[in-house]
Amino acid sequence: MQANVIDGQTTKLAPSPLLLSKSPGDLPSPQPSPPARNSPAGSTFGSSDDGSSSSSSADYPTPVTDLDGDAQVYYLNPADARKQAYLPSPTASTFSSNRDSGSSGAVEVVPKPKIVVSDSPTPPTAQEAPQAEAPLPPTPRVHGWLADAVAPFADFIDGPVDPRAAYVDLQEIAEGESGSVFAAHLVESFVGKLRLPASVAARDAHDRAAGQRTLVAIKQVAVTPHGSQKLLDLQHELRLMRGLAHENILGMEAVYVDVVEDMLWIRMDLMERSLADVIELVNEGLMLQERMIARFAGDILLGLDYLHKQGIAHRDVRSDNLLINNSGVVRITDFSQSVKVTREAPLSSEVVGVVYWQAPEMRVGPYDPLKADIWSLGATVWETAQAEPPFAETQVFTERWPAVRQPELFSPAFHEFLRLCSEPAAVRPNAAALMKSAFTTNACGRAVIVQLLSQCMAIERRIQEEMGEDS
């Protein structure tokens, strides 16, 4: 097995898609799905009730597939997953900063682990931050230096719960510098006894009533006596996102302390794959049509519009930080670079993110981080249409993106959307305005994205079979 390096550590994942080996009883057999949850208001973008687009177009036919297969599971802090093929040039690398030091430096770009295949992800639900209750009293489970180290997380930790007892059958799906990520089952006896947002607790109860085991993602972050940048980032994310919930935002549902291995366990919803993983399969024959791209863009805009109305700028919008669930809904994740924007402090000066998705104003001085998110969204749309980030070929970073290849394949609405996203910050539209654009309102139905995910799995199975034949 060839190892990948992620932020200085070696992942256990092979460079090709990896199928989790499962013994009987490790993961649940397919169960009837619970009733579908409603999408957020405005997320249908003109789609009809049956999931098809209300605006038919011969130019952009929707895919049809009858493929079935195990659900894909992708979950990793996308900040730990970079693309080696997109290393900036020595000149371009000076455009980004080292988050740990705050000084100008090169962007570290390392390979992203491949997809891991597992069974039946949990049904989607709007994300909520862990309930902001009064700080928990000291618990006899945590002693000594560990108690001191996790004290800053007291508002968020479900102190009395031993995560090793509550979550079982852990199977590692990714490993990086920030910690390992596992798929895990919630033990039935803990349903209703955990400190969870109301919607998450209701989902767990629904699974129990339906005779299903709840499958979640568990991210483990090491705790050290002297702290770490990863713990500071986690604390920043938890405080920034406290109390926020939206269908297109991936939140942290709960935090626990593992006293055996001195770890924080963060529970999250288990997602299918990242948008970056979808884009990578274009070179293997996957077809991404314009109206699919519009659906992705619409979901991202819904999430950004919600964040921006809360005064939060993400500042690192790109395909690695956009995860898709089994219902085809895109959620924004990784808020380690995010900032709170106020009337008193409307501008930022830090150069963060990855250069291919950075707004040009980031590199010249104070900038409006809310408008920078819009540029990054446009860069992601460009990337999805071209199967590579803008400027990856030329390494010459300009005020506007390069012209797309074969522009005649794309509608005028698509070109206008890209133009709007790359306008100077002072006149660049906000997320609410872009949601009304002709491009996003002609998005495909949600069911088309679900079919697209099935096609992704079929392509990966074919690749695995071909690799098996070669060996």
Indicate which residues carry an active-site annotation: 316
Q: What is the distance in angstroms between the CA of the first residue and the CA of the last residue of the chain?
A: 12
**Which residues in 289-312 are b (16+ Cβ under 10 Å) and which e?**
bbbbbbbbbbbbbbbbbbbbeeeb
Q: How far apart are CA 245 and CA 236, in angstroms?
A: 17
Neighbours of 224 (CB within 10 A): 12
What burial class does residue 9 get, using C-beta atoms within 10 Å of its C-beta: 0-12 exposed, 13-18 middle, 19+ buried? middle
For residue 35, is it left (φ>0), alpha (ψ between -120 and 50) or beta? beta
Q: For 298, phi and psi rounded to 5 degrees?
A: -60, -40
* Residue 287 identity (one-letter amino acid): M
Q: For 461, phi and psi rounded to 5 degrees?
A: -65, -40
- Contact between 162 and 63 under an 8 Å Cβ cutoff? The reply is no
- Angstrom CA distances, 375 to 7, 337, 400, 402, 442, stand at 26, 16, 10, 14, 21
**Which residues in 369-406 are b (16+ Cβ under 10 Å) and which e?**
bbbbbbbbbbbbbbbbbbebbbbbeebebeeebeebee
The number of C-alpha atoms within 13 Å of 161 and in the hemisphere containing its C-beta is: 23
Q: How far apart are CA 318 and CA 358, in angstroms?
A: 9
Q: How far apart are CA 305 and CA 20, in angstroms?
A: 37
- Nearest CA among 172, 66, 72 for reference residue 119: 72
Q: How far apart are CA 141 and CA 119, in angstroms?
A: 33
Six-digit token string for 292: 């699919």
- Angstrom CA distances, 379 to 1, 106, 351, 390, 399, stand at 34, 20, 17, 6, 12
Neighbours of 249 (CB within 10 A): 24
